[in-house]
Amino acid sequence: GNLYVNFENEGLKRFMEGKFVPIPFSEKFSDDEIVGIDIFDNEDLIAATAESGFFLIKINPYGNELSVEKLEINFQSLIAQTTIQSFKKIGENLFAFGTNGDGLFVFDQSGKITQSINENSGIKDPFVNEFIKDSRRSIEASIRQWSCLCKCF
């Protein structure tokens, strides 16, 4: 795999041949924190930013980045004015992100939110710092004051 780093005020760069090289259209990330990058499908990557949401990084068969496109995930109506804290792929076509005030959300490749885990559905604190998927198909979340186990998907 490739190593990507988001440089403040410079954008996303890939490490290649001993140095960090900007990817095309990386300026879209220069003013925002990337909280996670993962494999979207067989060729492309998905990047989650704290403030701007999700982006699809199109990769050609040679491994070169071709474009960066905003990925529409209809979560804005579900959360207040919070930021995305953490993000990762949790299944074949499922992704999850934690927020700093509205809990944890799961969405599929089409961008549809399939599950929201918040104070109303069992999480004691909606500030999700980080999370992992365990072997039992559950999500263990690190929240502001303790950790919790959530049954998911």
For the segment 119-149, what is each residue's pLDDT rounded down to a tens digit? Answer: 887 777 788 888 878 777 777 777 776 555 5
pTM for this predicted structure = 0.83
Residue 72's alpha-carbon distances to 56, 122, 141, in angstroms, are: 10, 27, 25
The pLDDT value given to residue 43: 80
Low-confidence ranges of the chain (pLDDT < 70): 74-81, 145-153
Residues 6 or more apart in contact with residue 58 via CB below 8 angstroms: 43, 44, 65, 66, 67, 68, 69
The pLDDT value given to residue 70: 86
Could you tell me the end-to-end alpha-carbon distance of the chain, in angstroms, rounded to an integer? 27
d(CA 69, CA 97): 19
In the chain, what is the greatest distance between 2 CA atoms, to the nearest angstrom? 49
The pLDDT value given to residue 46: 93
Q: How wide is the angle at C-alpha 101 spanned by C-alphas 151 and 153, nearest 5°?
A: 20
The pLDDT value given to residue 40: 93
The pLDDT value given to residue 147: 54
The pLDDT value given to residue 108: 92
Whether 138 contacts 150, CB under 8 Å = yes
Whether 130 contacts 110, CB under 8 Å = no
Residue matched to tokens 């071709």: 66
The pLDDT value given to residue 123: 76
